[in-house]
Structures are given as structure tokens and as C-alpha cells.
Amino acid sequence: AGISASSAILIEPFSGRVLYEKNAHEKRPMASTTKIMTALVATDMANPDEVLCVQGDCVKIQGASLYLEEKEELTLMDMLYGLLLRSGNDAAAAIGKHVAGDSSHFVSLMNRKAWELGMHNTNFANPHGLDDDEHYSTAADMARLGAVFLQAPLLREICKTEEYVSRELTTGKVRLFINNNKLLARDPRALGIKIGWTENAGRCLVAAAQVNGMELVAVVLDAPDLYTDVSKLFDYGFGKWRAQEFIPRGKVMDIVPVAQGKAARVALTTAQPLNFPVTAAEAISYSVHLDAPVLLQAPISPGQVVGKALVTVEEYVIEIDLVAASPVRKKVGLWSRLVNWLHNWWQR
């Protein structure tokens, strides 16, 4: 494909299927693509409406900046826009301090999240991505992170926004954040995510794109020609693969008995479809293992998650939530009905 990047990968994010890789498991610095994790941990731990007061040790941090001043107050939402669009290193520090009390605690939360996500070749040393020997990842790990980031509706919306105006809450001072990810303007398929650069890391990009309902995530690290690289990867991915629906949304996977229910049993259906990227020449089979209870307890509401289907396609295991297809109300016994009747009669 003639990719300039030292490391690169292309995946389909729902299945995790790898469509292309080049040195994808090589540990490298990843610059400001770090802020993908900063944003993810912040929205896990805090409400976007919270007001954040900028501390003195979070201003005048080198590199890209929002030029925050001590004691300024902004919502976490405004800070997230500044973090992901303008790549403010001061915003990263301020978010970390607000969410976890201090930077080192926030970094430990980032590393715990990385471990949970299976990013086993990644270590974070700070929330912004400035060079540090203990701060590194791989293209494969960053693609996994990008896939999880895309599942968060707020973050997905922020990273594709062209520009955003933030407002300081005490003085009313406004700042304009313009998205520094030029792929959004260059490639109509792009859904955004995050770009980064340091002297040591080179130019880095975690990018997502969509065509005909299929999404792909591309990562390039140390890529002199990062936008061309990523567009080439998307050309290759969308040109060669298509998403095949193996299991539709709402398919009945099991029927489970219900204890103390007005209905004796309830159907469990898939909460989302299972799509898997295939080439024209491939004939792929799959197997399903259900992780569902043998008995459910009423009451049950429709759409309630009650189990999982573990679908194995090739070497990939994909989890799909199983939900109750219909409501099941609790059966009220004779004694309870009598008590309710007496209670209602007494209230007259």
C-alpha cells in the first residue's frame, strides 16, 4: 500500500478484525493521540456539566495550549472540546486534576482502563502525550482504544466537530476551538478522532471512517504523510471488504422460564446485529455460545439486558447483549391481593 508510517493498522472496530497491519505491535510514542484515553477516562468518571476550576499547576504547559489561566472556570464539556479539537495540553492536565485530584492518580486510572481494554503494550505517564520514556503504545492498542472511543456518543460527536466556542463562566471570556484534524476536510468518509505530534513521536493519527454503514479505524504512528496514509488505508479497506450481517438485531436466541411471572417464559433477542467484514472470495462460518441464565425472576422490562451471546468468527470472539423481548409483570399471590384490597378499602 506504500504507507509512510513506521507503524500502521486498519481494523473493523465492532469485530476487531485486522484488515491491514505494519509493525502494529511495535511500542512507540503516540503523542497527543493519548488524549483519546484522557477523554474516555474523564467521561467515565465525571459528568460533562461539571464545572472545572483551573489550578495553578495546569497552566503554561508546553506544546499545544488553550492558554488557560489560573482560577478560570469552564464546564468539563468545554474542556473536552478544547482537548480533542485544539489538543490543549493544559486542558489535559486540568481535566486529570479535576477528575482524580492529582495527575498521577489520573494517569493510574488511564493505565487501569488500558489494562481493562486489553492494551497490553501500552503505558501512560501523563494525560497529554508529551514525550516520556515511560509513555508508549502500539498501533494495534491505539486502534482498540479508538474503537471503544467511537462507542461513546458524546466523544464521537466532539471529535468530528469542525469548530466550537467555549465560554469562561465568571468573566464570559470566549475561545474558539478549530479542529486540527485536517482529514475531516480532506476525506468525506472521515468521522474524526485524534491527531498528534511531538519531535520524538513524529506525526500520529487515529482516524475513523464510514461507508455504507461499515466503519473502519486506522492508526498511523510516526507517519510523515499521515493523511495520505490513512486515506490509502480506507481506500484499501472499503475497496476490498464489505460488512456481512451474520445475525440480525432482534433475532430470538433463547427462550427462558420466568419465576413468579404473569408469563411463564420470555424470549431473549440480540440487542444489536452482528456484522463481520468479509472479502468477496470468503465463505466464513461462525458459532454461538450463549451466556444466559436458566431462570429469570419477574418483573422483567422489555430491552433489559439479561445475558450475552459469544459469537466466534474465525479467531475473533464478539460479544452481543441479549435482551428480554417483552415485559413480564410479577404475579401477585392471593395473600398480597387481599392485603392490597384491605389497604385500599382502609384508605377510602
Residue 180 has a pLDDT of 96
Residues 6 or more apart whose Cβ sits within 8 Å of residue 155 = 39, 40, 43, 80, 84, 149
The CA R_g of the chain, rounded to the nearest whole Å, is 24
pTM, two decimal places: 0.91
Question: Does residue 335 register a pLDDT over 70?
Answer: no
**Which segment of 65-69, 215-219, 281-285 scores lowest on mean pLDDT?**
281-285
For 336, list phi and psi in degrees, rounded to 5: -60, -40
More confident residue, 335 or 204: 204
Q: Averaged over 267-289, what is the pLDDT? A: 94
pLDDT at residue 92 is higher than 60: yes
Residue in 7, 87, 103, 137 annotated catalytic: 87
What is the pLDDT averaged over residues 95-113?
97
Question: Which whole-number Å values give the CA distances from 326 to 26, 101, 257, 303, 307, in the listed order?
Answer: 48, 44, 13, 7, 15
Checking if the pLDDT of 1 tops 60, the result is: no
pLDDT of 333 above 90: no
Mean pLDDT within 138-146: 98
What band does 346 get if pLDDT is binned at 50, 70 and 90?
confident
Cα–Cα distance, 58 to 72 (Å, whole number): 11
Compute the average pLDDT of residues 83-88. Answer: 97
87 counts as catalytic: yes
pLDDT of residue 339: 65
What is the reported pLDDT for 345? Answer: 74
pLDDT band at 343 (very low <50, low <70, confident <90, very high): confident
The one catalytic residue in 7, 32, 103, 137 is: 32
pLDDT at 18 over 80: yes
Active site residue 97: no
Give me the count of residues in the chain.
348
* Cβ-Cβ contacts under 8 Å for 348 (sequence gap 6 or more): none
Catalytic residue among 7, 15, 35, 194: 35
pLDDT of residue 331: 83
CA 86 – CA 164 distance, rounded (Å): 10
Query: What nine digits make up the cell of 199?
Result: 519531535
H-helix segments, the chain: 35-45, 76-84, 89-100, 103-116, 139-150, 153-159, 183-186, 226-240, 334-347
Average pLDDT over residues 279-283: 90
35 among known catalytic residues = yes
CA distance 268 to 152: 25
Q: pLDDT tens digits for 161-200?
A: 999 999 999 999 999 999 999 999 999 999 999 999 999 9
What confidence tens digit (pLDDT) does each residue in 198-242 have? 999 999 999 999 999 899 999 999 999 999 999 999 999 999 999
3-state DSSP helix/strand/coil percent for the chain, to nearest 5? 30, 35, 35
pLDDT band at 24 (very low <50, low <70, confident <90, very high): very high
- Percentage of the chain with pLDDT > 90? 92
Q: What is the DSSP string of 258-314?
A: EETBSSSEEEEEESS-EEEEEETT----EEEEEE--SSEES-B-TT-EEEEEEEEET
To 5 degrees, how large is the angle CA 61–CA 63–CA 69? 40
Spatial separation of the C-alpha atoms in residues 11 and 230, rounded to whole Å: 12
